[in-house]
A = this chain, B = another copy of it.
């Protein structure tokens, strides 16, 4: 494989049955599940490192290793059977990623890049150096630091854990220093951030290969509810073409500056004064699930192409309007998932359903539904209706 040619080590685990390199993904949630699905097309079978045998991706893949993703020994044994390692989440400690690379494994994204998706403080500092707009922020270790920052940007403001946040976890809106006293005193490394007056949230998804090739998908609008993405509208309605192009260029620039290999999602705040970067993710991302049917190359296939240093695929849309709605677990009442699926297929025969093989738990992302068409509002109504029925078993 060309990872070797590009200067990275080639361990030569090449699958003798297929003549193709072996890609290992650490983490076995829906992102690994859908990456495996895409891998099948390009002759691959994703090797998966799972926490438990009933993880969503472990249910559907042939080559699954169970282990602890913070344990270098477990990961080292997994990596020995892979030509390239990549991730379905950001939770492998930076020092473990560094150690895997030092042991000769090809790891994409690298620890040096991944750090900026793991550490919110490092990311903001780095983007600041690059002159890229982010909300005003400050590291906060003491009540005094929080008070000073609050006086500067106003209350309420946002506190975020520097590491480990996800889907609204590790994020707190606080109205005063008093309200945040316990949190600030807990010793968790925090940053404080101004609460930006949002018009809406956007996301730009790009991919980059070790060779340096880049590809960007159309910019999308993401609709959040309680800190969790519930809808993705592609392309972002009413976004000026010049702005969309500028944001694609921004995504590609961040990928290049940080040395990202694979998919990079740049979550954005649109404000009356412009666009600010909110968060980065260096893996396939919820805001890109629409690309499975809605783009000529899906984010999952593209991530594989990128980490294999294959040329990237075209990213054009397959329809004028594409909407993905997440299926978030509702109360466990009403018809079971099999019955719900039956009704959804009858009512919305054009809906593309994706279920992640998870047990229902309130608020848990169980799947998503994508609908394609000509008119955004119609497409959106269908996607949201189908997702809600799958989630709650109630008719719209």
Once A45-B357, A62-B64, A338-B20 are accepted as A-B contacts, the answer to whether A345 and B37 lie under 8 Å apart by CB is: no
Contacts of A342 in B (CB 8 A): 2, 310-311
A311 near B60 with CB under 8 A, answer: no
A17 near B54 with CB under 8 A, answer: yes
- Is A33 in the interface zone, CB < 8 Å from B? yes
Contacts of A356 in B (CB 8 A): 43
Within 8 A of B (CB), among A238-289: none
Report how far A367 CA is from B345 CA in the complex, Å.
30
CB closest chain-B residue, reference A17 = B54
Task: Tell me the smallest distance from the CB of A334 to a CB of chain B, in Å.
Answer: 13
- Is A230 in the interface zone, CB < 8 Å from B? no
Report how far A218 CA is from B40 CA in the complex, Å.
26
B43 near A336 with CB under 8 A, answer: no
A41 near B354 with CB under 8 A, answer: yes
Within 8 A of B (CB), among A1-50: 1-2, 14, 17-21, 33-34, 36-37, 39-43, 45
Within 8 A of B (CB), among A189-237: none
- Is A313 in the interface zone, CB < 8 Å from B? yes
- Is A359 in the interface zone, CB < 8 Å from B? yes
- Is A349 in the interface zone, CB < 8 Å from B? yes
Contacts of A337 in B (CB 8 A): 18-20, 43
A338 near B62 with CB under 8 A, answer: no
- Is A305 in the interface zone, CB < 8 Å from B? yes
- Is A68 in the interface zone, CB < 8 Å from B? no
Contacts of A37 in B (CB 8 A): 37, 40-41
Report how far A353 CA is from B356 CA in the complex, Å.
24
Contacts of A313 in B (CB 8 A): 345, 349-350
Report how far A36 CA is from B360 CA in the complex, Å.
23
- Is A101 in the interface zone, CB < 8 Å from B? no
Contacts of A338 in B (CB 8 A): 1, 14, 19-21
- Is A122 in the interface zone, CB < 8 Å from B? no
23 contacts between A and B (CB under 8 A): A2-B342, A14-B338, A17-B59, A17-B359, A18-B355, A18-B357, A20-B338, A33-B40, A36-B60, A37-B41, A41-B352, A41-B353, A43-B367, A45-B59, A45-B357, A59-B62, A60-B62, A61-B62, A62-B62, A62-B64, A296-B352, A310-B341, A310-B345
Known: A17-B59, A61-B62, A313-B345; 10 extra A-B contacts, CB below 8 A, are A1-B338, A20-B338, A37-B37, A42-B341, A43-B355, A60-B62, A61-B61, A311-B345, A311-B349, A318-B318
